[in-house]
Amino acid sequence: MKTTTLLRTLIPVVTGLSALSAWAGPQADVVCSYHHTAGDDAIMMYGMPNHAMLHDFFGNTHTDAYSDYARLRSQPETTCNNKADSSAWWAPTMKLPDGQIVKPAYQKTYYQSTNVDQYPLTPFPLGLELLAGDHHGTGPNKRITFLCGNGKGYTNTAGEVCGLREKGDAVQFNIGIQFPNCWDGVNLKPVRGRMNATYASDAGACPAAFPVKIPTVNMNVAWVLPQITSLDTAKIELSMDPVMNGETRIEQWGSIYTAHGDFMNGWPVESAQFMTEECMNNNMDCGTNIPFSYTRAIADTWVSSAEPQRNYGDDTTLQVQDDWRNGGRTANTEIMSLVKFTIPPLPEGYSEADAALFKYKIRIYGGKNAEGADQIFFYPTDTQWDEHQVTWNNRPACNYRSDGILYLDKQRVYRYVDVDSAVRAALAAGKTEIAWYIGGDRQGNNYSFNPAGSKENLLLMLVGYKTTPEI
């Protein structure tokens, strides 16, 4: 049960649009299909199953009245397209004007940021729980927005009539819920009479009582309704706290202005760190590329046959070039980069089918130093080299049968290279580290990349994805 005083302290009822419709800062996103409906609320009615208002649940498939961070991570199955995100979200159940209770299709959550140069983000703490909205609301709320799939964009007022997205299709209606992004740094859980988070200013600054800036959770719930041809949003009803007669529920319903949401962080520690430290605080979009775990390169350098005794361990770029034409690679200058990583461990607690969805990938930033697009190669080598001592003359042996191929052009952007088979083979052999040469396109073109320690950081990532359709 959420009290009016509790939520109105957090979210004043004002007019204006949520930033869901236009967000300028870097962000990440996940799409999570609907999983179940229950009268549970582990944030405000922990340990009281079937005593809360009806909620529709997304994300972690085991969410119930007893959920907390430890349970989310020990049972990490999720309906989300990113397997690392075992967070739980819930929102009130919807009833249409004709009395039909309908289930949402999915929700898309954007993890977002503002003005990180001046106000950098801190990763979500373990066990963080957040509330947004007012389940006793009677008017527009700055943090709650509505959208018709065929409409004019986001609004925070009821009354638009949604039509079919297109002829013969379906009505789609979305509710956007923006969660607070300034944590008090102490309380993981909100309680009646005391919120644990509030909202940053438009400039991105947090108030003194809530000094810890965290990513903004923007939850966008979508109902896709092929059974109707129009929907008056002013006549939608959302579930409210039931009247309990012993264990018997008498459901109660409120207007669309009672929209609200609950978020329970279920990201692994390294995922939460990656979101802020490797992406958003660098003013870079993460997109869907939030890993389950990752390691930064523990060594990287390059070697050149043109200067066989020189060490390039302090260079600020990694260089690649070779030419296998006109006498073969040994007849031409060969420049290769060396990269070495500690291997992130495989995930635990997942079913065999879910565990198989995780893949190892290298994230590298750079491109070709000329027009056109070509492929470069990641050749296996041993890990017995030192970046400040290795030269062309004392370099480790190179196996020119590649573990990964990268197609790339002149753009300097993040690139992702699938090396899953090679890393799993190394793990099976009992290895904890792995290394590669990066070889060129065999046509003499030059490539350059940013090393570990740069803002763009060279990483070995363990990622897991599955298809979660947006209907």
**pLDDT tens digits along 406-445:** 999 999 999 999 999 999 999 999 999 999 999 999 999 9
Could you give the residue ranges of the DSSP H alpha helices within 198-343?
269-273
Domain 293-464 fold is Jelly Rolls (2.60.120)
Average pLDDT on 77-98 reads 96
How many other C-beta atoms lie within 10 A of the C-beta of residue 389? Answer: 10
**355 band by pLDDT with thresholds 50, 70 and 90:** confident
- What sign results for the dihedral spanned by CA atoms 338, 344, 345, 350? negative
Tokens at 37, concatenated? 């409906």
Q: Which residues of the chain form CATH 2.60.120? A: 293-464
**23 band by pLDDT with thresholds 50, 70 and 90:** low
Residue 383 has pLDDT above 60, yes or no: yes
Tokens 């990513």 label which residue? 215
**193 band by pLDDT with thresholds 50, 70 and 90:** confident
Of the candidate ranges 3-17, 188-202, 351-365, the one whose mean pLDDT is the lowest: 3-17
Tokens at 354, concatenated? 């879910």
Tokens at 458, concatenated? 């060279």
Average pLDDT on 382-390 reads 98
Tell me the one-letter amino acid at 135. Answer: H
Please report the pLDDT score of residue 439 as a whole number. Answer: 97
Please report the pLDDT score of residue 354 as a whole number. Answer: 82
Residue 461 has pLDDT above 60, yes or no: yes
Of the candidate ranges 35-44, 347-356, 369-378, the one whose mean pLDDT is the lowest: 347-356
Please report the pLDDT score of residue 152 as a whole number. Answer: 85
Please report the pLDDT score of residue 167 as a whole number. Answer: 80
Please report the pLDDT score of residue 7 as a whole number. Answer: 34
Q: How many Å apart are CA 387 and CA 344, to the nearest integer?
A: 21
Report phi then psi at 311, rounded to 5: -100, 135
Task: Give burial (CB, 10 Å; 0-12/13-18/19+) of 117.
Answer: exposed
Average pLDDT on 314-336 reads 95
Q: Mention every residue, 6+ apart, whose C-beta is less than 8 A from residue 270.
A: 291, 292, 293, 294, 344
Please report the pLDDT score of residue 16 as a whole number. Answer: 32
- Give the best-scoring range by mean pLDDT among 5-9, 133-137, 185-189: 185-189
The mean of the pLDDT values for the chain is 92
How many other C-beta atoms lie within 10 A of the C-beta of residue 439? Answer: 23
Average pLDDT on 114-124 reads 95
Please report the pLDDT score of residue 24 as a whole number. Answer: 63
Please report the pLDDT score of residue 175 as a whole number. Answer: 98
Q: How many Å apart are CA 202 and CA 212, to the nearest integer?
A: 16
Tokens at 56, concatenated? 């529709």
Average pLDDT on 362-386 reads 97
Residue 381 has pLDDT above 60, yes or no: yes
Report phi then psi at 364, rounded to 5: -135, 145
Percent residues over pLDDT 70 in the chain: 95
Residue 278 has pLDDT above 90, yes or no: yes
Please report the pLDDT score of residue 351 as a whole number. Answer: 80
Q: Mention every residue, 6+ apart, whose C-beta is less than 8 A from residue 312.
A: 301, 302, 303, 304, 319
**356 band by pLDDT with thresholds 50, 70 and 90:** confident
Residues paired with residue 109 on neighbouring β-strands, in sequence order: 30, 219
340-343-344-349 Cα dihedral, nearest 10 degrees: 170
pTM of the predicted protein model? 0.89
Average pLDDT on 269-295 reads 94
**11 band by pLDDT with thresholds 50, 70 and 90:** very low
Q: How many Å apart are CA 90 and CA 221, to the nearest integer?
A: 10
Residue 326 has pLDDT above 70, yes or no: yes
Average pLDDT on 312-329 reads 95
The percent of the chain in helix, strand and coil, each rounded to the nearest 5, is 10, 40, 50
